[in-house]
Amino acid sequence: MGKILIINTGGTIGMTKTVHGYAPDMEKFHENLYGIPELQNNRICEWEIIDMNPLLDSSNMTVEDWNKIGNIINRNYEKYDGFVILHGTDTMAYTASALSFMLENLAKPVIVTGSQIPICEIRSDGKDNIIAAMMIAAAGIVKEVCIYFRGELLRGNRTTKYSADDFMAFKSPNAPALAEAGILINYNKEILLPEPVGKFYFQQLETIPIGVIKVFPGIQFNLFSNIMTEGLKGVVIEAFGAGNIPGSPEALLPIIKKAFENGTVVTVCTQCFQGTVLLGNYETSNALKTAGAVSGKDMTTEAAITKMYYLFSKGYDTKTICRLMETGLRGEL
């Protein structure tokens, strides 16, 4: 069993109730964490903890906070065998997706977890989630960024928050679990990402202007014209079904064309919880394809957004970004 670093970013797991609602409480969290018998005397593995300052409700996470987390991993990469990130559930899927791209040639487990009930309250799911996440991080079998929650280890960039109140808060709609934790932790070894060939590298992200447009019946695309062609560098269109858009497809065509010419990358994902975008499969999605929109295939919106942040931060030109959006980089497709 290796030595792991816990990075505490905040989230419900370490919160207490205040007059204004739940908020991070580091002292109380540490009291509870160090009180877990399984964590004492390095029974699971050797571990240390770093608390981010300030601790956040994950709704307040920004690109800068992803950079802070990535920097901590980068600085400590050689010193530890694995990393556990304690994080709020609200944007956990975004952080896990972002880190999966930022941590290039990752050869160690990075396991993101949290809880639906604070660890200081009765019936908390926090203790089990932390213990299993630590065991997985220390075992060193997965070499990628994952979310561990309620018995399942999921590929981070395949995951989406599914329930606001169920103990199993996450689902990975288009990819099976990487491991299941019953009495034993059983890994699905054939689908784990292979050991990387190159050297570990940490890519910082820039705060690129990116937007998401969810289409709906009656949408007036002309209202989005300016932001799509001038304001934003990346747009994720959440289309219907296999990538279909409503109304007259021509309305969107010139906007996407102009956006493409201006260097804006338009990626089409689906509003469906499961399945894939197939641009050109229906007449209603053909316009998107011919105008230069990119197929997000079966990527989650979280993965599409963070992948665009990553590819723009790498400094690639628009054509390369469009090509790489449709290419699997970390198992996100």
CB of 246 to ligand ASP, least distance (A): 32
> Which stretches does DSSP call E strand in the chain?
3-10, 15-18, 21-24, 46-56, 82-86, 103-104, 110-113, 145-149, 152-155, 160-161, 170-171, 179-181, 185-187, 201-202, 210-214, 234-239, 265-270, 294-295
Which residues, numbered 111-150, are part of the site for ligand ASP (CB under 6 A)?
Answer: 114, 116
Give residues 59-78 in contact with ligand ASP (rule: CB under 6 A): 59
Active site residue 284: no
Minimum CB separation from ligand ASP for residue 163, in Å? 10
Question: Is 264 an interacting residue with respect to ligand ASP (CB under 6 A)?
Answer: no
Binding residue for ligand ASP, selected from 8, 12, 159, 295, defined by CB under 6 A:
12
Place of tokens 């316009």: 287
Bridge partners of 146?
A: 111, 155
State yes or no: cis peptide before 246, omega within 30 of 0: no
- For position 296 contacting ligand ASP by CB under 6 A, the verdict is no
**Residue 58 in contact with ligand ASP, rule: CB under 6 A:** yes
Query: Which of 85, 239 has the CB closer to ligand ASP?
Result: 85
**Per-residue binder mask for ligand ASP (CB under 6 A), 78-107, x = binder:** ----------xxx-----------------
Alpha-carbon separation of residue 305 from 169, 238, 273, 298 (angstroms) = 21, 11, 16, 13
In the bound state with ligand ASP, the residue whose beta carbon lies nearer, of 95 and 313, is 95
Distance CA 266, CA 129 (A): 37
Task: Kindly list the catalytic residues.
Answer: 12
Binding residues for ligand ASP, rule: CB under 6 A, are: 10-12, 57-59, 88-90, 114, 116
